[in-house]
Amino acid sequence: MGREYAMRKGEAMRHSKHTSMGRYGRALLTGALGVALGATTLAACSSSPKATTTTTANVPGVTATSISIGATVPLTGPAAPGYDEIAPAMDAVFSWVNAHGGVDGRKINYTYLDDGYNPANTATLTRKLVLQDNVFADIGSLGTPTQAAVQGFLNSQKVPQLFIESGCNCWSDPRYPYSSGWQPPYTVEGKILGSYIKANFAGKKVGYLYQGDEFGNDFVKGLDMEIPSASVVSRQSYDAATLAGPLSNQIAALKAAGAQVVAMATIPAATALAMLPAAAIGYFPQYVISNVGADTPTVGPLLSSFTQKGGGSAAQAKAATGLLNGVITDAYFTPEADVSNPWVQVEKKLLQDYAPSLYAKSGLDGNTQYGIALAYTFVQALQAAGKNLTRAGLLAAIAAHGKDFVTPGFVPLSYSSSVHFGFQGSEVIKLSSTAAPAVTPTGSWIGSTPVTPVEVTDIGSAPVTKYTGPTSTPPTNLVSTS
């Protein structure tokens, strides 16, 4: 019986297999043909495979009348708010340059694509920019994980990966000569703020709160070079990817350890999520926060909105921004609140004239200022490279003349053939409710006063020293006469 059943079962199997085989086989075949058809159509749709754009002297992305450059930045996702203003602000500078005839008769075409801060997207989009759109260089792309993902590819293709929007120590690496950073490395910031803590809070107990990634680790490395390890009583970290609620545990640990000074390498949201629970348990240490985490036009509104989400009244929400009063941080270019500064004036005019919708939305804040200054650095690099523009020539021009470029930075750029960092200095400032406030479309925010002279150092063993050189003034022609 069992045997018979087994046999019949086998027959049935064979039978059903046979009848369905043809359909199955043809479906597979259709699939294969369909893929073939689909892929060829796609190839036809995508812009001229294997075709090279017309170039002078065969430099990709460069013609007699144009230069194509590209970037990948987060326009969506968790990193987008605030950072999505930088590339449009850069584009405003290029519009201004193009309206004035371009550089050496070449107009700058800037293509920035949204990678959503996902390195896999960055890898694909960067290949699209280089292999398909034939860009001359990758300028002002944002993020450590994202740009680390394409550092190898861009260098193997000998495509300049310049002025990366990240303070990672990894951009000045002899293995990757085509890469370079722009903003101060986080370790430099850590050293400058650490040296301030050592000098001004001697004998006090210090606690750390940092993001558990390259940003936090590099910053803490700088702090540790300056602050005696005996005075560090607690080291707390948080994970950026899962940052969703108040950092109550970390704050409780810092309070329990008796930390009187809390040095923080935090993003704006984490700054707010640390200060609020601390205030709630009556813990008010002296905060010393990295430049990124103390951007008042971003942190102020976050303090208010988190207070309201937590059930606080409108009055409490307004009062919460007062927590920023007295915070120590650092700045590497003139704060936008300093309206008498010539850089701030031309930057504002430039945004009003060439990116009116961006100006209406964000105004001149830390991010738009950053984009303008970075783009203007690139324009000067092009000018220094001259008419016979090549990729290698651009790098050589930056190494040779980068120190002379004018920027709103407090210190000159430090480019050389071996150093691929931009600014390596900053000024320690104290946020203060009595100083002139920063004015943004969302309201006015707390101002700041400098508490140290501008200081310089490097990511290595160089001491933190006072910068005595000049600061640059903006070129008179940076703003159109329209």
C-alpha distances in Å from residue 280, one per residue of 135, 206, 226, 316:
52, 20, 31, 12
Residue (of 273, 326, 266) closest to 295 by Cα position:
266
Minimum Å distance from CB 278 to another protein?
24
Amino acid at 259: A
Minimum Å distance from CB 19 to another protein?
5
Answer whether 425's CB lies under 8 Å from 188's CB: yes
C-alpha distances in Å from residue 414, one per residue of 10, 138, 369, 377, 469:
78, 20, 20, 12, 13
Judged by beta carbon, residue 155 or residue 352, the one nearer another protein is 155
Judged by beta carbon, residue 38 or residue 258, the one nearer another protein is 38
Minimum Å distance from CB 462 to another protein?
24
Judged by beta carbon, residue 4 or residue 482, the one nearer another protein is 4
Minimum Å distance from CB 210 to another protein?
12
Judged by beta carbon, residue 150 or residue 382, the one nearer another protein is 150
Q: What is the CA radius of gyration of the chain?
A: 27
Minimum Å distance from CB 53 to another protein?
12
Minimum Å distance from CB 46 to another protein?
6
Q: Identify any residues that bridge with 138 across adjacent strands, giving them in sequence order.
A: 70, 161
C-alpha distances in Å from residue 179, one per residue of 330, 419, 472:
26, 11, 25
Minimum Å distance from CB 306 to another protein?
22
Answer whether 390's CB lies under 8 Å from 396's CB: no
Judged by beta carbon, residue 6 or residue 314, the one nearer another protein is 6
Judged by beta carbon, residue 261 or residue 351, the one nearer another protein is 351
Neighbour count for residue 123 (Cβ, 10 Å): 16
Buried b / exposed e across 465-476, counting CB within 10 Å, b at 16+? Answer: eebeeebbebee
Minimum Å distance from CB 226 to another protein?
22
The tokens for 409 are 């930075």
Which strands make up the sheet holding 179-181, listed edge to edge? 107-114, 66-73, 137-139, 161-164, 179-181
Give 311's contacts (C-beta < 8 A, 6+ positions apart): none
Judged by beta carbon, residue 217 or residue 334, the one nearer another protein is 217
Residue (of 163, 197, 198) closest to 178 by Cα position:
163
Q: In sequence order, what E strands does 257-399 have?
A: 261-265, 286-289, 328-331
Judged by beta carbon, residue 1 or residue 230, the one nearer another protein is 1
Minimum Å distance from CB 251 to another protein?
20
- Ramachandran category for residue 8: left, alpha or beta (phi over 0 → left; psi -120 to 50 → alpha): alpha
Minimum Å distance from CB 212 to another protein?
6
By the 10 Å C-beta count (0-12 exposed, 13-18 middle, 19+ buried), 2 is classed as: exposed
Minimum Å distance from CB 110 to another protein?
13
Judged by beta carbon, residue 242 or residue 434, the one nearer another protein is 242
Rounded CA-CA distance 41/316 in Å is 60
Minimum Å distance from CB 381 to another protein?
25
Judged by beta carbon, residue 154 or residue 331, the one nearer another protein is 154
Judged by beta carbon, residue 122 or residue 452, the one nearer another protein is 122
Q: Alpha-carbon torsion 140, 141, 142, 144, what sign?
A: negative
Amino acid at 468: T
Judged by beta carbon, residue 39 or residue 280, the one nearer another protein is 39
C-alpha distances in Å from residue 445, one per residue of 175, 299, 318, 324:
43, 10, 11, 10
